[in-house]
Amino acid sequence: MNEKIKLEVKCNEERMIAFRRDLHRYPELSWQEIRTTNRVVMELERLGISYRRMEPTGIVAELVGAKPGKMVALRADMDALPVVELSDTLSYKSQNDGKMHACGHDAHTAMLLCAAEALVAVQDELAGTVRFIFQPAEEITEGAEAMIQQGAMEGVDNVFGIHIWSQMPTNTISCHAGAVFASADVVEIKFTGRGGHGAMPDACIDATVVASAFVMGVQAIVSRETDPLEPAVFTVGRMEAGTRYNVIAEHAVLEGTVRSFHPQVREKMEHAISRFAKQTAATYGATAEVNYRYGTHAVINEEVSATLAQRVAVSSFGDGVLYSDRPTTAGEDFSYYLQEAPGCFALVGSGNAEKDTEWAHHHGRFNIDEDAMVRGAELYAQYAYTYLMENPE
């Protein structure tokens, strides 16, 4: 633990919270983070940290230490969601109708800026470079790839990210080795039958019936074709069929998502869903077109990096800070950074019943316990500092 970093973060707590509330008040959706990008740039210029704007939004900044060494990257996402904020008591409630920071990205951005300010205070001690990645478009899982394509991970030896987590108690930290977030794929299926009059079903092939049979039976893939010790989830979230009450539908369209932690399970689900859809359609004399799109990979924490994060957390905050949390089947495009360099992704708890901050992420009443932000900011900075000090070039 670096005591100067701890003191710097604490001294800048009010500024960090104010910045987070400003972003919360003016949320911007994926690829629309223009104001957010400009606000981050203003802070980086105040700190004297060099930066590069990305296209169309986002920033990569660098703090070069006084001594040569490796490069560690710290990542925060910046985009909001198309969610209506339901709280009427917040002084910093969203002013942009139908848009809300309902996942904590406003806090991530503010914490990373606070960490950057703390690292500036120890720049003369740093042996290496800290790269700060302020990423757009995480919510649509496009931002990380775009940042990487524009060079965000070039020369990076290790990468670290944080997510505020309302399902964990405030100030706890979870960063275990192995799977943390699942891969997140999208499935689109179009069933085609033969439409006709609702009073003459014998002359038709009802696509609604075909789609319904598929939905009712497809979970057998999970229960009977995948290893029960290797989780998989297939959810059909959208079904559209028919045009009128007395017309038998010729087409039915389904959209769903597949979540898993292991590449072999992911591949098995892809093939099994396609097979099941086509065979179900054939049973009724219909056809099926399946479009299976790979989304984010699973977030798999590298063991050495996760151990480092745990050690940094205990050194900074005490033995009781670590929280044993199970992997979540939510998706996170931080996984793309881990394809480029070893690293890990930590969860910082912000759930507090007394402050009403235990709502699920993406809910209209989601909010964070801002007391958690100090630990999040310090964890960012202490991780980068410790990694560089312990891994000389």
Residues annotated catalytic, as ranges = 79, 138
Q: Which two tokens stand for residue 283?
A: 């049973």
191 vs 252: CA distance, rounded Å: 5
The conformation of residue 153, written as its DSSP 8-state character, comes to T
176 is in an annotated binding site: no
362 is in an annotated binding site: yes
163 is in an annotated binding site: yes
Q: Is the peptide bond before 169 cis (omega within 30 degrees of 0)?
A: no
Residue 191: which H helix or E strand, with range? strand 183-192
CA distances from residue 23 to 11, 96, 209 in whole angstroms, order as listed: 20, 11, 47
Contacts 24+ apart (CB under 8 A), 85-90: 85/364, 86/363, 86/364, 86/365, 87/364, 87/365, 87/367, 90/24, 90/367
The conformation of residue 125, written as its DSSP 8-state character, comes to G
Q: Which two tokens stand for residue 87?
A: 């709280």
Residue 112 burial (CB count, 10 A):
27
Binding site residues for Mn(2+), as ranges? Answer: 103, 105, 139, 163, 362
